[in-house]
Amino acid sequence: MVAVVLVVSACTPSGQPDDYDTTTQENFIEACEANGAEQATDVAAVCQCSYDAIVDQIPFEDFESFDEELRDDINAPFDDQVSAIVADCIRQTAS
């Protein structure tokens, strides 16, 4: 699930927002849920938890950089902080 959720950040619009906004959230959640639909966990809760934590903990510029890396190379290594956020959200929703 972690890899599936992380890949979705590459699906934000190419309009390049300059901060987290409604469009960024909607695109992140939509892509996250679509990519995590096959998982047994509560995908909607994991996706919302992940987005909320990313907004709280990761500056938008860093999110943008990560997004650009994934756009350039879908196999790029995942950011450790984002991986930890998603894993924590999976644990929270599983309990």
**C-alpha–C-alpha distance, residues 41 and 78, integer Å:** 21
What confidence category does residue 52 fall into, taking pLDDT thresholds of 50, 70 and 90? very high
pLDDT in tens, 4-31: 455 555 444 556 678 899 988 988 888 7
The predicted structure's pLDDT at residue 80: 85
pLDDT in tens, 60-84: 999 888 878 877 887 777 778 888 9
Concatenating the DSSP letter of every residue in 38-91 gives: TSSS-HHHHHHHHHHHHHHHS-HHHHHHHHHHHHH-TTSPPPHHHHHHHHHHHH
The predicted structure's pLDDT at residue 10: 44
How far, rounded to the nearest angstrom, does the alpha carbon of residue 41 sit from its chain's CA centroid? 16
pTM comes to 0.79
Tell me whether residue 5 is exposed, middle or buried, using C-beta atoms within 10 angstroms of its C-beta: 0 to 12, 13 to 18, 19 or more.
buried
